[in-house]
Structure 1
Amino acid sequence: MNDVLEALIAAQEGMVARRQLTRHGIDWDHVDAEVAARRWVARTPRVISTVTGELTRAQLEWQAVLHAGERSMLGGLSAAARHGLTGWDRDVVTVYVDDELSFEPVDGVRFFRSRRPFDLLRHRRPGIPVCRLEPAVLLFAAYQTTPRPAHGAIAASIQQRLTTVERMVEWVDTLRPLRWSKPFKRTLGDIAGGAHSGAEIRRMCRRFGIAMPDGQVSRTDRAGHRRWTDCEWRLADGRVVILEIDGSFHLDVMESMEDHRRARRLTSTHRLVVRCSAFEVRHEPEQVAADLIALGLPGRVPDTAA
């Protein structure tokens, strides 16, 4: 092998496509001889490894994009992990392709066909072809069947300081039409600190027969500070249940600590403070309603509440 080919293979973690070998004068007979001698391994009909042991995660990703062709790139959570997202690891490698029917399937790889401009999606960083973080996360989220992982991945990418709300909102518009774009923007608004609307609470109360709460009630906590509560219900036995609603996901540890301290200081022997997120009220109201009813609020227990 020449120095240029050796450098290419090293940069690709020991993985190389047959088409790349052909360009450098290595014909298929030579490749087959190396494989027969067990110096190389044919990992797929299109990809050869110059290492014979078990492949690392990075090598599996190179195998996937080399197999899919020169315009392919890592996408979804595979791309997000390359950008630094943690806590969202998946065994399956996601690869964006022009045409998912143009090559053989590979175990452990999900080929995702996209008609969006690949030049727009692809990050300019050197190394393995990879989608930009924002479209990778948003396209992953758009194809989830339940909202929690979709919105969770979006929030995590911001929480881990990999992107900003502003960039995410720009990409929601850039990727139009994008499934669930309006809910994504609401979640991004919550993350940015936008005030939650009481419309979801009122909708939940009507749906499950819960009395409408009093909102923005002035209270003085044990430290003597004046607080305004989100929702309050006074029960027949004299107790008061207070529901405090956080943004969809807390991004700031100190802010979260202050909210918990606030809840403790508002709680007394006859006043119970419970918390939920705007995400739960919007997407999982049956869970919130069931918990409130369990605390003594009259209403119809949702059949779907776990």
Structure 2
Amino acid sequence: MVSDDWRRLAALQGGLLTREQLRALGVDRWAVRHRLASERWVAHTPTVIGTTTGELSRAQLLWLGVLHGGPDAVVGDLSAAEVAGLRNWHRDDVTILVPHGSFVGAGHPGVVFVRTRRPLRDWRRRGRGLPVCRVEPAVLRFASTQRNPRVAEGALAAVVQQGLTSPNRLEEWIGRMQPLRGADRFRRALAEIGGGAQSTAELDVRRMCRAAGLTQPVRQVRRRDASGRLRFTDCEWRLADGRILVLEVDGGFHMQAEHWEHDIARQRALTSPGRIVVRCTARELRDEPERVARDLRLLGVPAP
């Protein structure tokens, strides 16, 4: 039955259908107009109809974007990475990539349409369901648009750290996406990420040590604190006298009162007669690496 056909498709698309899909399934414009007038359906855009009412969920917003964007539209950038499972990089607006020359009109609040000449069909993740860009070209395209290189490198480090891809696959896609703004910088960052750096702070520590002529630290070491709890330290060096120097890097969220107090307690628990714990901020590593390097050298961090 016609009713069953549109209901089945709507169930697969978050309750959303295009007018063209409805027409192909035998639901004429008069039936659509009647359901809209009776407020059983909602016209979210001139082309996309919602068969349910109420505020759109995140999944529905993604479907709305690709349905409105046309047959070649895909979820892109960090929105695609979020669908793939990326955590802690949420953006309120969803990004939809559409072919260059596509007309999307005013679109919809919360959806950003990006026109591109890139081969979106080749970028699309295999399988049925929501049209989503593969995580590698999605994150690399996002990184190439960032003015702040730390944001770009942080996104690359995050997708590798969270197991969504590998440095080798990202390197391969850099070659496939040429020309790509920032490609050389991304290759250098991926080489460091492949060597064990898991975040922008760890990348900054590696670069600081290389520039200052200090031994590279051992990162993410498992340690038992004074209470026996298992913890991971950011960076460690073994000093000439046998003691361990630990550097803990505090990000912006550490400045909040509850995190600050937790970190103080963590430092106290990790400190022992054979282990010194010092701290710096991610801002210091970024803006004053020579100052941090000088203090580490005075504490006994050796040259390579």
| Aligned equivalent of 2:168 | 166
Aligned AA for 2:61? L
Taking the TM superposition and a 5 Å limit, the aligned residue runs for 1:133-152 are: 133-152=135-154
| Aligned equivalent of 2:72 | 71
Determine the C-alpha separation between the residues in 1 that align with 2:206 and 2:297: 22
Determine the C-alpha separation between the residues in 2 that align with 1:245 and 1:296: 13
| Aligned equivalent of 1:118 | 120
SS in 1 for 2:157: helix
CA contact (8 A) 1:83 1:162 kept: yes
CA contact (8 A) 1:80 1:133 kept: yes
Is 2:13 the counterpart of 1:27? no
Determine the C-alpha separation between the residues in 2 that align with 1:124 and 1:202: 42
Residue 260 of structure 1: how far off its partner (Å): 4.1
Residue 290 of structure 1: how far off its partner (Å): 4.7
Residue 86 of structure 1: how far off its partner (Å): 1.1
SS in 2 for 1:97: strand
Residue 113 of structure 1: how far off its partner (Å): 1.3
Of 147, 154, 157, which aligns to 1:155?
Answer: 157
Residue 254 of structure 1: how far off its partner (Å): 4.5
Aligned AA for 2:188? R
Change in 2 beyond 3 A, CA 1:194/1:79: closer
Aligned AA for 1:22? R
CA contact (8 A) 2:123 2:133 kept: yes
What are the Cα deviations for residues 248-270 of structure 1, in whole angstroms up to 9, with x where unaligned?
Answer: xx6x664994764546834499x
Aligned AA for 1:123? R
CA contact (8 A) 1:76 1:136 kept: yes
Residue 4 of structure 1: how far off its partner (Å): 2.5
SS in 2 for 1:176: coil
Determine the C-alpha separation between the residues in 1 that align with 2:97 and 2:175: 20
Taking the TM superposition and a 5 Å limit, the aligned residue runs for 1:3-14 are: 3-14=4-15
Change in 2 beyond 3 A, CA 1:172/1:274: farther
Taking the TM superposition and a 5 Å limit, the aligned residue runs for 1:201-240 are: 215=213, 229-230=214-215
| Aligned equivalent of 1:240 | none
Determine the C-alpha separation between the residues in 2 that align with 1:94 and 1:279: 29
CA contact (8 A) 1:121 1:131 kept: yes
| Aligned equivalent of 2:257 | none
TM-score, normalised to structure 1, is 0.71
| Aligned equivalent of 2:99 | 98
SS in 2 for 1:2: helix
CA contact (8 A) 1:187 1:279 kept: no
Determine the C-alpha separation between the residues in 2 that align with 1:57 and 1:18: 22
Determine the C-alpha separation between the residues in 1 that align with 2:44 and 2:160: 36
CA contact (8 A) 1:75 1:95 kept: yes
CA contact (8 A) 2:95 2:113 kept: yes
SS in 2 for 1:16: strand
**RMSD, aligned α-carbons:** 3.7
CA contact (8 A) 2:280 2:292 kept: no
| Aligned equivalent of 1:38 | 39
| % identical aligned pairs | 42
What are the Cα deviations for residues 8-58 of structure 1, in whole angstroms up to 9, with x where unaligned?
Answer: 111001011111111112222221110100110111111110101111110
Aligned AA for 2:64? Q
- Structure 2 gap segments, 5+ residues each: 198-202, 224-230, 246-271, 299-304
CA contact (8 A) 2:208 2:293 kept: no
| Aligned equivalent of 2:84 | 83
After the TM superposition, which of the residue ranges 101-110 and 148-157 deviates more from structure 2? 101-110
CA contact (8 A) 1:276 1:288 kept: no
SS in 2 for 1:95: strand
TM-score, normalised to structure 2, is 0.72
| Aligned equivalent of 1:181 | 183
Aligned AA for 1:157? V
Change in 2 beyond 3 A, CA 1:183/1:274: farther
Determine the C-alpha separation between the residues in 2 that align with 1:124 and 1:279: 40
CA contact (8 A) 1:42 1:49 kept: yes
Aligned AA for 2:36? V
Change in 2 beyond 3 A, CA 1:33/1:260: same
What are the Cα deviations for residues 66-90 of structure 1, in whole angstroms up to 9, with x where unaligned?
Answer: 1111110100111111111111111
Taking the TM superposition and a 5 Å limit, the aligned residue runs for 1:191-202 are: 191-193=193-195
Aligned residue-pair number: 254
Taking the TM superposition and a 5 Å limit, the aligned residue runs for 1:275-290 are: 284=286, 286-290=287-291
Q: Which has the larger radius of gyration?
A: 1
